[in-house]
Amino acid sequence: MSASPAATATLYQDLHAKAMAWCRDFAQYKEACKVFGEQLRVDYLTYLGARSTDLEFHVLDERLERVPSEGTTLSPRLQVGDDGFLYFGLTLFFKETGHCLDEHIRVGVQRSRNQWKVRWGRTEALYAVSGSHTAFFDRVTAPLVDKFATPFHKVRGQLGFVPYVSNDEHLVLAPVGEARIVAEKGESPAA
- pLDDT tens across 126-157, in order? 998 888 999 999 999 998 898 888 887 676 65
What is this structure's pTM?
0.74
User: 90 is in which domain, residue-wise?
Assistant: 5-149
- pLDDT tens across 13-61, in order? 999 999 999 999 999 999 999 999 999 999 999 999 999 999 999 999 9
- The number of CA neighbours under 13 Å toward the Cβ of 9 is 3
Banded pLDDT at 181 (limits 50, 70, 90): very low
86 touches 109 (CB < 8 A):
yes
Residue in 100, 88, 93, 97 with CA at minimum distance from that of residue 55 = 93
Q: How far is it, in rounded angstroms, from Cα 55 to Cα 148?
A: 18
In a domain, 136, yes or no: yes
Task: Note whether 167 and 104 are same-domain residues.
Answer: no
Task: Note whether 165 and 115 are same-domain residues.
Answer: no
Q: How far is it, in rounded angstroms, from Cα 17 to Cα 9?
A: 12
Asked if the model's pLDDT at residue 177 lies above 80, the reply is: no
Task: Name 137's Cβ contacts closer than 8 Å, sequence gap at least 6.
Answer: 43, 44, 47, 48
In a domain, 12, yes or no: yes
In a domain, 70, yes or no: yes
- pLDDT tens across 154-163, in order? 766 555 566 6
109 touches 117 (CB < 8 A):
yes
Asked if the model's pLDDT at residue 111 lies above 80, the reply is: yes
